[in-house]
A and B are shown apart, each in its own frame.
Chain A
Amino acid sequence: MAVSEQAQPVSGAVRGRQRRAREEELLVWPDLVFIEFIAAVLFTITLAILSVLVDAVLLDRANPAITPNPSKAPWYFLNLQELLLHMHPALAGVIVPTVALIALGAIPYFDTSNAGQGEWLSTPRAWPNLIVGSIVGFVGTLLLIFYDASSHVRLYEWVANPGKSKFLSNGELNPSFNGWPDSLAFLKSLRSIETELNWPDALTSIPVGEKILRTDLLGLPAIPLEINVAKVIVEQIIPVSTMIGLPILLSIVAWKVGLAQTKRDHMILQFSGFIAVFVILTIIGTFFRGEGLELVPYTIYSHG
């Protein structure tokens, strides 16, 4: 049974091995082994030179009593640490990376066509999708970060007050200074929605008690819950809808204008956007977060 199956391969599209084209093939020794050898030698030389020139940092001995300001995670986690500043810690620290990794692993199960396989960006709209996805991810994330740092407020006040300063020389507020309108105070940053609006007490402390999260059943201390609607909106609902909604919006727009037509197009668009977001968050977290993790012009705090 097994033998006869092997003797007569199923015709048509066989999932699995592709037929080999012998005349198109080269010998691994020497053609590939040589390249690998050269790559290894070049890399060894580069690393040796780097290691002779630049020493790995070693700061003072670890001291739990002195918290450096800012404290930063290793650079490849600074993207998550950056997210932490804008949403609920459980989202930024655990849920977003978990979902992102699962989504990453699921890519081949969404995009199952063979189009563009085995060649760099060979489907028709590959490059435009890569470029648009990257730019939107990069710029969009930057704008969101600037918004949360109230940069638009500073920009507005700078434009609305040519040559005027906010404070007089005696330190008092300049009465003729056009500040950000009070009626729009809740748009100063994401957090302002919670702090600048008059939320009724009934909504900011809804007692739920210990009956929902039965952590006592796990042998853990019971957690009495109290729901603050304003906080939930700011820390969870808005971030989640932003992180899910904007990529979907991007895909819909790209689809409507004919930029992304196939699944592969959408994959390239989204993957490029994801990489761009990852890169910009890492850059901001590494170089533009200073004391108290404030947004600062440019700093290298920890070179690890």
Chain B
Amino acid sequence: MATGEQPRGQTLGDRLYDFAFKNRVWKSVFRSGYPNTPRNQMLAVATNVFLHLHPTRIHRTHVKITHTFCLGGLSFFLFLGLTITGVLLMFYYVPSIERAYGDILRLETDVRFGQLLRNLHRWMAHGMVLTVLMHMMRVFYTGAYKPPREFNWVVGVVLLVLTLLLSFTGYLLPWDQLALWAITVGTNMVGSAPILGEPNRFVLVGGFQVGQAALIRFYTLHVIGLPLIAAIFMAVHFWRIRRDGGLARPL
């Protein structure tokens, strides 16, 4: 047929593509098509509740790994990982001084992958303290606290304190000698403050020494109170990064 160029018929690949990414189910979930064009790539970020923490475009210097070393992102990633492993740990743990230690022993010996679960939670907790501290140093040395980001730096300092408190409250839960005495030493420091120190220590520990009252207080703070507050501050932190015009760059 010599009527000029006709559009080629659909190849098998095209049909598979349409089948996979242009069907009603895909579109109902993702709204935009497969992110292989700039338009769809931006839509993929902008229309996804998780990805839209990001802007759709970003300055090229901020994509370099050596600019952030991904440290803030890794802190957040560890926070998420700690939440997941923490929820799983809660299945096996009862915060009572009669049961807690035995529960950890049983977790390590009787529960499939229990020891691994506990190890993951522990190492992620230590890791998060480290990544948050290093993130603070990277923000400082890149001068990213300067106007208009002053307030986000303050939010960051609050997040640092919350991270330390999360780790500290978790430290008591295994109810072994390490836990008991580390928390005793730590809370005694609070008690050493002039005048209000001892009453504060008493409220924190729920008594004169670290016992059942302290365990349930630390547990509640650790599994719900502090994570909630931290999540709120992280939301503010991320929101402010966007509001302050993305990551800092030279003027």
**B181: CB under 8 A from chain A?**
yes
Q: How large is the interface on A (under 10, 10 to 19, 20 to 34, 35 or more residues)?
A: 35 or more
A-B contact count (CB 8 A): 256
Inter-subunit contact B197/A18 (CB<8 Å): no
Candidates A35, A71, A94, A105; contact of B65 at CB < 8 Å:
A35
Candidates B41, B118, B164; contact of A56 at CB < 8 Å:
B118
CB distance from A104 to the nearest CB of B (A): 5
Chain B residues positioned under 8 Å from A130 (CB to CB): 141
CB distance from B232 to the nearest CB of A (A): 18
Inter-subunit contact A74/B167 (CB<8 Å): yes
Candidates B70, B123, B140, B181; contact of A271 at CB < 8 Å:
B140
Chain A residues positioned under 8 Å from B65 (CB to CB): 35
Chain B interface residues (CB < 8 Å from chain A): 35, 38, 41-42, 44-45, 51, 54-63, 65-67, 70, 73-74, 77-78, 81, 97, 101, 104-105, 108, 115-116, 118-124, 126-127, 129, 137, 140-150, 153-154, 157, 161, 164, 167-168, 171, 174-182, 184-186, 188-195, 197, 199, 209-211, 244-245, 247-251
Distance, CA A113 to CA B150, complexed state (A): 11
Nearest 7 interchain pairs by C-beta: A93-B189, A89-B192, A108-B150, A51-B119, A62-B180, A118-B248, A56-B122
With A118-B144, A213-B195, A275-B137: A108-B123 Cβ-Cβ less than 8 Å: no
Distance, CA A89 to CA B161, complexed state (A): 20
Instruction: Identify which of A56, A74, A104, A111 gathers the most chain B CB atoms within 10 Å of its CB.
Output: A74
With A29-B42, A94-B193, A130-B141: A304-B119 Cβ-Cβ less than 8 Å: no
Candidates B119, B121, B161, B189; contact of A54 at CB < 8 Å:
B119
Chain B residues positioned under 8 Å from A218 (CB to CB): 195
From A42-50, A145-153, A173-181, A184-192, the one touching the partner chain is A42-50
Chain B residue with the shortest CB-CB distance to A94: B193
Candidates A58, A71, A111; contact of B184 at CB < 8 Å:
A71
**A25: CB under 8 A from chain B?**
yes
Inter-subunit contact B190/A93 (CB<8 Å): yes
List 10 extra interface pairs beyond A58-B176, A62-B180, CB under 8 A.
A27-B56, A33-B45, A58-B174, A58-B178, A63-B177, A74-B182, A92-B192, A107-B145, A114-B146, A220-B199
With A43-B74, A90-B197: A62-B176 Cβ-Cβ less than 8 Å: yes
Inter-subunit contact A117/B251 (CB<8 Å): yes
From A75-83, A162-170, A199-207, A250-258, the one touching the partner chain is A75-83
